[in-house]
């Protein structure tokens, strides 16, 4: 991407305008529908449905199939804007019946998108008012490959929703990724097995109807690589059944009893080994459990371990030949031999996540930079960073963090530690700085003078009591590739006028920077 906004492609312009046109059709239908509804509500709905069917057929014929998901995104945004506009037009003396009729037209207009060309649906990205339409009309989206149904009823009305979900899933033969949290049942699983033969990822976490008996159904999937069963009623015996009989599985999500599972398989079903697991996530693991994981699951590449000082020896992880994504929770950098692990495995590590890790000083940051030269993602989350006692004085053999693309700092750092991290990640594309770090204008300018972050695309400084317009200007001028600069609303020294000035300044200079607050549909 260039520093300046490029001319919008005709394709993108067409999709945006088409989304606006669909919203305009909804707006144009509001008055005649409301008028007819007063005389004959049933006929008004019939006429509205006929009109929606005509628009749907028109779009199906004229919009190339590969652009339909993009059209859905622009249309939902336009209809969402129309919803807000209609809400704001409802005065104190406004007619509630008229308002409800208008909203019904807007929501119904979403159905024009329901064709076989719609392949990606995530309910969480759809305004709540429109979600009911998706839940009731899912059976029309026969081309779906990705479906995230969100939390549905949150587990409160599972029995009531079961039949509608089954009816919707019966025709979705192209599904590969399916998320049903809280409300999945054995009947729904049977429906998926029968009607979604190429499913590769299934998330039924938090579904209380899923038990050990459900595993026999899950074992019938032929292409399943990932299953998420966290916070269901599947016990360790169920996981044993799953790992022995579902040979395609590479990821079973978080399983705190995975050590016990592997121990049982090792002692009773050694012929099932080696297992194909590539992801290991557990909040409880002894050294013996980790050793079993290394021996029985040699292909593990993603490891998440909650460390127990008395029971876990992290040096066992050195035996994982494919390990490239390491997440360590609740341990000490030096006392728990993280340094030694990185010394052996560091050249393989591309992602490193340290959470509630203590004893991190400037020396530790230097060790990470030298032992993990190919590191692309680095996260510090609620770690305890300390002042170094004796500085690592040896000249660094490798230029620090030259391959780092994503840096997340949600911990309290000293200025010296921040300076080392932020002045050396020359190729960073994403940086997030949490509330525990309070940057000042002077310090931020000092960093950008040393490292202008010319490849940075997204910057999130979550909260600041000290940064001013001076920092905003420096960031925009220095970061030549910047595309997203968000969370300015949480900078207390900026007021609405300042933020509007920033947006106008970007617009006048045609910079390719988006400072718009992220649109969320969770309220």
At residue 310, the pLDDT reads 61
Task: For residue 436, give every residue at least 6 positions away whose Cβ sits within 8 Å of its Cβ, in sequence order, or none.
Answer: 410, 411, 412, 413
Does position 442 have pLDDT exceeding 60, yes or no? yes
3-state SS of 78-119? HHHHHHHHHHHHCCCCCCHHHHHHHHHHHHHHHHHHCCCCCC
What number of residues does the chain have? 523
The 8-class DSSP code of residue 5 comes to P
- β-bridge mates for residue 121, sequence order: 147
Residue 1: pLDDT band by 50, 70, 90 thresholds?
low
pLDDT digits (tens, 9 = 90+) for 17-50: 999 999 999 999 998 988 888 888 899 899 999 9
Per the CB < 8 A criterion, the answer to whether 155 and 206 are in contact is yes
Distances from the Cα of 468 to the Cα of 415, 422, 442, angstroms: 19, 19, 10
Task: For residue 218, give every residue at least 6 positions away whose Cβ sits within 8 Å of its Cβ, in sequence order, or none.
Answer: 189, 202, 224, 227, 242, 246
* More confident site: 157 or 210: 210
- Which residues of 155-277 form beta strands (DSSP E)? 177-179, 201-203, 226-228
At residue 520, the pLDDT reads 54
User: Taking residues 332-346, what's their average pLDDT?
Assistant: 93
Residue 120: pLDDT band by 50, 70, 90 thresholds?
very high
Does position 318 have pLDDT exceeding 60, yes or no? yes
At residue 145, the pLDDT reads 97
Give the other-Cβ count within 10 Å of 467's Cβ.
Answer: 23
* More confident site: 5 or 141: 141
The counts of H helices and E strands in the chain are 17, 14
pLDDT digits (tens, 9 = 90+) for 424-440: 999 999 999 999 999 99
At residue 523, the pLDDT reads 38
First to last CA, the chain: 33
Does position 394 have pLDDT exceeding 70, yes or no? no
pTM of the predicted structure, to 2 decimals: 0.90
Per the CB < 8 A criterion, the answer to whether 493 and 468 are in contact is yes
**CA 124/CA 179 separation, integer angstroms:** 11
User: Taking residues 315-337, what's their average pLDDT?
Assistant: 93
Does position 392 have pLDDT exceeding 60, yes or no? no
pLDDT digits (tens, 9 = 90+) for 280-294: 999 888 889 999 999
**Mean of pLDDT over the chain:** 92
Does position 349 have pLDDT exceeding 70, yes or no? yes
At residue 278, the pLDDT reads 96
> Domain coordinates of the chain in residue numbers?
1-113, 301-402+411-417, 429-522
Per the CB < 8 A criterion, the answer to whether 326 and 317 are in contact is yes
* More confident site: 384 or 71: 71
Query: At which residue do the structure tokens 């609405």 appear?
Result: 496
Judged by average pLDDT, the poorest of 3-12, 57-66, 165-174 is 3-12
Does position 521 have pLDDT exceeding 70, yes or no? no
User: Taking residues 230-242, what's their average pLDDT?
Assistant: 96
At residue 207, the pLDDT reads 94
43 phi/psi in degrees, rounded to 5? -65, -35
């Amino acid at each position: 991407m260039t520093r300046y906004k490029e001319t919008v492609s005709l394709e993108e312009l067409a999709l945006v305008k088409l989304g606006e046109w669909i919203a305009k059709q909804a707006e144009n239908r509001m008055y005649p529908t409301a008028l007819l509804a007063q005389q004959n509500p049933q006929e008004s709905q019939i006429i509205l449905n006929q009109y929606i069917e005509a628009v749907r057929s028109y779009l199906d014929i004229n919009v190339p199939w590969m652009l339909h998901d993009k059209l859905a995104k622009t249309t939902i945004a336009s209809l969402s804007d129309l919803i807000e506009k209609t809400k704001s037009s409802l005065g104190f003396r406004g007619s509630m019946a008229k308002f409800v009729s208008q909203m019904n037209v807007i929501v119904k207009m979403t159905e024009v998108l329901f064709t076989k060309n719609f392949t990606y649906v995530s309910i969480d990205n759809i305004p709540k008012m429109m979600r009911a339409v998706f839940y009731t009309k899912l059976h029309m989206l026969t081309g779906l490959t990705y479906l995230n149904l969100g939390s549905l009823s949150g587990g409160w009305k599972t029995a009531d929703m079961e039949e509608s979900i089954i009816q919707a899933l019966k025709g979705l033969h192209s599904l590969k990724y399916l998320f049903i949290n809280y409300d999945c049942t054995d009947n729904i699983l049977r429906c998926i097995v029968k009607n979604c033969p190429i499913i590769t990822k299934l998330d039924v976490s938090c579904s209380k109807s899923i038990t050990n008996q459900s595993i026999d159904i899950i074992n019938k999937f032929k292409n399943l690589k990932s299953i998420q069963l966290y916070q269901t009623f599947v016990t360790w015996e169920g996981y044993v059944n799953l790992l022995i009989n579902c040979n395609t599985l590479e990821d079973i999500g978080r399983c705190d009893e995975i050590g016990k599972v592997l121990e049982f398989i090792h002692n009773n079903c050694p012929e099932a080994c080696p297992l194909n697991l590539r992801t290991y996530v557990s909040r409880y693991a002894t050294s013996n459990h980790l050793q079993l994981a290394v021996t029985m699951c040699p292909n593990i590449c993603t490891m998440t371990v909650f460390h127990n000082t008395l029971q876990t020896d992290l040096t066992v992880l050195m035996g994982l030949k494919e390990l490239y994504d390491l997440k360590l929770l609740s341990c000490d950098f030096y006392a728990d031999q993280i340094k030694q692990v990185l010394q052996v495995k560091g050249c393989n590590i591309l992602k490193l996540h340290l959470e509630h890790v203590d004893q991190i000083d400037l020396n530790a940051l230097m060790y990470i930079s030298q032992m993990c030269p190919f590191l692309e993602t680095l996260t510090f989350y609620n770690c305890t960073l300390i002042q170094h006692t004796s500085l690592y004085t040896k000249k660094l053999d490798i230029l620090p963090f030259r391959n780092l693309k994503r840096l997340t700092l949600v911990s309290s750092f000293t200025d010296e530690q921040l300076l080392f991290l932020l002045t050396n990640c020359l190729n960073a594309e994403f940086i997030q700085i949490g509330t525990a770090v309070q940057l000042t204008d002077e310090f931020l300018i000092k960093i950008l003078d040393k490292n202008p972050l010319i490849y940075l695309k997204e910057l999130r400084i979550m909260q600041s009591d000290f940064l001013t317009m001076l920092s905003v200007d420096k960031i925009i001028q220095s970061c030549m590739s910047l595309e997203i600069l968000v969370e300015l609303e949480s900078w207390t020294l900026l007021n609405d006028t300042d933020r509007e000035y920033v947006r106008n300044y970007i617009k006048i200079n045609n910079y390719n920077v988006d400072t718009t607050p992220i649109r969320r549909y969770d309220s």
